[in-house]
Structure 1
Amino acid sequence: MPTPESRNKSATKGLPEVIRDQLRYEILSGTLPVGTQLRQDALAERFQTSRLPVREALRQLESEGLVTYLRNRGAVVAGMEVDQICELLDIRVALECYAARIGVPNMVQHDIDQLTKILAAYNASESVAEWAEYNRRFHLALSAPANNRRLRRLIEEFCLNTDRYTHEMMSIATGKEGPQSDHYQILDACKQRDGEKVASLLEKHILETKHNLLATARIRSVESERGREAEPDLLALKGARLHS
């Protein structure tokens, strides 16, 4: 059934976009985990519509990398390997740093106020899912003064595709203090209208996420290997008990 938010948005957006936005929110917030099957008939019933707008919404989410199609299962929430996420983070560095160089000198007080409000809301929140959303808003607000809609759309796409995999993991590991410290340094450079400094800080900020992600993957791999090595010992122990 459509949410009140989606019904309000429908006044200005087409039904496929309303459905897309609601499903996108649920994917990014973790309500719809990786691998969840997205059945068109069930979604059509939920949103009280035909399958056509649902099919279009899923097509748009597929183009964003949030949905994929599997044989015999149809549309499912997409997953991503660590190396794929790292590739997207590298692309984010290129896009966001370029946007900063051309956009920060164009900033007016309204832009600074928007960034400040986002970080204040980030500080006040205790929800990891909300931290990810405020992080996304901050990065998109940085790109707006570049006055390039296609560039901003590309940045939004790559933010969407990386934040849902990285931000919750990093937030649980480090809390919000580290990322927020970076954000306030970036904000200070924005106040100085120093595009080069903002670009340098952004590169360091995004690559730090990449390095933490790779380190976490290495640790998990080692732990997994140790677990497999311990399995024969556990089996032997169980066998000994059975024969004791």
Structure 2
Amino acid sequence: MSDMSEAKSTAIPIYETLKDEIVTSVLLPGEALRQEEIAKRFGVSKIPVREALLKLEIDGFVLFRKNKGATVREMSSNEVLNLMDIRIALECKALELSVPNMIPSDFARAKDVLDDYSAQSDSKSWSEHNIAFHQTLYEPCDNPSLLQMIADVRARLGPFTNMLVSEASGLERPHQEHQNILAACEAGKTEEAVELLKQHIETTKKVTAAYMRRGTRS
């Protein structure tokens, strides 16, 4: 194996670990990623660390700045809203494919999530239950590639941004919209369910845009 191939192979677990720490907010937006410290942590040279950081930059998780090195990338307002547009396209397609495949156990699981959702009182819990509800709706689509694309968009947004979106939206409106979407799914009304989902994400996007314009949170 060449030195370059070995570096790329060694970089993979470093990439996966750092990506997971960024996605789960162990590493926060703007936080410095010092190559020497990472190399020491993983017991490797700086070459595979740089490979891992460059791949993270390509995937949108890390930013390299001249004379400042690598930092965890901060999402701009426009990036958040653009990713929500992508959510609309991907998730509406997933729901369109899912509804004909749904069975009673799918509806029961979704209702259980909504029951728990309505009992929560903080944005972190709202965000977690919101994600769980949407996942439950999309899993019957029987398209792993599409589900992975949805998960990738969610990872790009990260838990901090997902919490911001949940905080901006509150509980009552999204909860009622979720119930309406689920009712349409249970009735087998695919077009109605998809349209309700589209309106749901579009409204969330507008509320989030207004919330970020006010600068309530950075």
Query: 1:163-174 to 2 correspondence within 5 Å?
Result: 164=159, 166-174=161-169
Partner deviation per Cα, 1:163-185 (whole Å, 9 max, x = no partner): 64654334334422222222122
Q: Write the letter of the residue equivalent to 2:182.
A: L
State the partner residue of 1:189: 184
Output the CA distance in 1 between the equivalents of 2:116 and 2:48: 34
Q: Write the letter of the residue equivalent to 2:189.
A: D
Distance 1:170 1:26, change over 3 A: closer
Aligned residues: 204
Output the CA distance in 2 between the equivalents of 1:119 and 1:53: 44
1:84 maps onto 2:79 in alignment: yes
1:36 maps onto 2:31 in alignment: yes
Q: Write the letter of the residue equivalent to 2:129.
A: Y
Q: Write the letter of the residue equivalent to 1:135.
A: N
Moved more, 190-199 or 170-179: 170-179
Tell me if the contact between 2:61 and 2:73 (Cα under 8 Å) persists in the aligned partners.
yes
CA drift of 1:195 comes to 2.0
State the partner residue of 2:6: none
State the partner residue of 1:74: 69
Distance 1:55 1:184, change over 3 A: farther
Tell me if the contact between 2:181 and 2:196 (Cα under 8 Å) persists in the aligned partners.
yes
Partner deviation per Cα, 1:4-47 (whole Å, 9 max, x = no partner): xxxxxxxxxx95586256404432xxx5331011234434555x
Output the CA distance in 2 between the equivalents of 1:25 and 1:84: 16
CA drift of 1:123 comes to 3.1
Output the CA distance in 1 between the equivalents of 2:108 and 2:50: 39
1:136 maps onto 2:131 in alignment: yes
Output the CA distance in 2 between the equivalents of 1:77 and 1:155: 21
State the partner residue of 1:175: 170
Output the CA distance in 2 between the equivalents of 1:155 and 1:24: 17
State the partner residue of 2:21: 23
Tell me if the contact between 1:100 and 1:143 (Cα under 8 Å) persists in the aligned partners.
yes
CA drift of 1:91 comes to 1.4
CA drift of 1:55 comes to 6.1
Q: Write the letter of the residue equivalent to 1:179.
A: P
2:104 is matched with which residue: 109, 118, 124? 109
2:209 is matched with which residue: 214, 220, 226? 214
Q: Write the letter of the residue equivalent to 2:21.
A: L
**Structure 2, unaligned runs of 5 or more:** 1-11
**Structure 1, unaligned runs of 5 or more:** 1-13, 222-244
Backbone CA RMSD of aligned residues:
3.1
Q: Write the letter of the residue equivalent to 2:174.
A: P
1:161 maps onto 2:159 in alignment: no
Distance 1:163 1:21, change over 3 A: closer
Partner deviation per Cα, 1:176-197 (whole Å, 9 max, x = no partner): 2222222122222222232212
Output the CA distance in 1 between the equivalents of 2:37 and 2:116: 35
Tell me if the contact between 1:132 and 1:163 (Cα under 8 Å) persists in the aligned partners.
no
Percent identity over paired residues:
34
Partner deviation per Cα, 1:41-95 (whole Å, 9 max, x = no partner): 434555x654688667656654553333333333322112222222211111111
Tell me if the contact between 1:136 and 1:163 (Cα under 8 Å) persists in the aligned partners.
no
Higher relative contact order (CA 8 A, sep 6+): 2
Tell me if the contact between 1:186 and 1:202 (Cα under 8 Å) persists in the aligned partners.
yes
Moved more, 133-142 or 17-26: 17-26
